Amino acid sequence: MLRITSLNVNGIRSAFRKGLGPWLAQTRPDAACLQEIKIQDSDLAEDLRHPEGYSGHFHHAEKKGYSGVGLYLARDAEAVTPGMGCPEFDAEGRILRADWPGLSIVSTYLPSGSSGDERQSAKYRFLDHYEGWLAGLMDEHRQSGREFILCGDWNIAHKEIDLKNWKGNLKNSGFLPEERAWLSKVLGDMGWVDVYRRLYPEAGEEAYTWWSNRGQAWAKNVGWRIDYQIATPGIAARARSASIYKDERFSDHAPLTIEYDWTL
């Protein structure tokens, strides 16, 4: 079985101080996709760069203390490629792709628009570029049979079941009609599969992966499901189980782990 974990760490150093390292050593995912690492390459200590049993790969944001994605791989990839060919957002460190024979795993961190209109506009620009990039991956899948698993914080809750207070968030970034329609297009016309939802179509509150730090959201489970593993249909059909780990808190997100009937 292929075990893949996705987690927005909200600062990789903070997550390791809160116990992420021992948890990885215990759960042993074959690939751990990290988002919002918030670190520069020069600041990566060896235990963060290559935890025991893993090779680490990173795409850092140019801006210090901002964004960035990473991959911890238990088996070396044939190639690891950052970015999607868009200078504006590649500078923010949002995409990192690893390739093995017949399969690619991508750690991806979509922008948040919650800080204001300027960032919401940037989010929409990202979605336009990302949609074209996703179309290219799907073309690659159809032409070569390569499967893709895109792991990460997409900063969009897709449907009402995906967040607690959906009525109160209809005009807020992350649940805007335009964002949700875009994700519906990705998961509809474009042919991508929301793997967790394929396994557990009725899961509600137990499916949340992020909780605001405001107003006792964690204690009251006022959460959102914004972390996904979105895949091409072939590998999605080979997903066997999924879990969201909440016994410990490494960040304001919870790790999403999915097991696939696949061997690297």
**pLDDT tens by residue, 38-81:** 999 999 999 999 999 999 999 999 999 999 999 999 999 999 99
How confident is the model at residue 114, as a pLDDT? 87
Lowest mean pLDDT among 190-194, 213-217, 246-250: 213-217
- Tens digits of residue pLDDT in 123-157: 999 999 999 999 999 999 999 999 999 999 999 99
Is 76 a catalytic site residue? no
State the pairing for strand pair 103-109/147-153: parallel
Catalytic-role residue among 153, 162, 194, 227: 153
In whole angstroms, give the CA distance from residue 195 to residue 134: 16
- Is residue 210 classed exposed, middle or buried when 0-12, 13-18 and 19+ CB atoms within 10 A define those classes? buried
Residue 247 has pLDDT above 90, yes or no: yes
From residue 165, how far is each of 36, 115, 196, 204 by CA, in Å?
A: 25, 19, 21, 12
Percent of the chain predicted with pLDDT > 90: 98
Q: Is domain 2-260 annotated with CATH 3.60.10.10?
A: yes
Percent of the chain with pLDDT over 70: 100
Q: Which two tokens stand for residue 80?
A: 């690891």
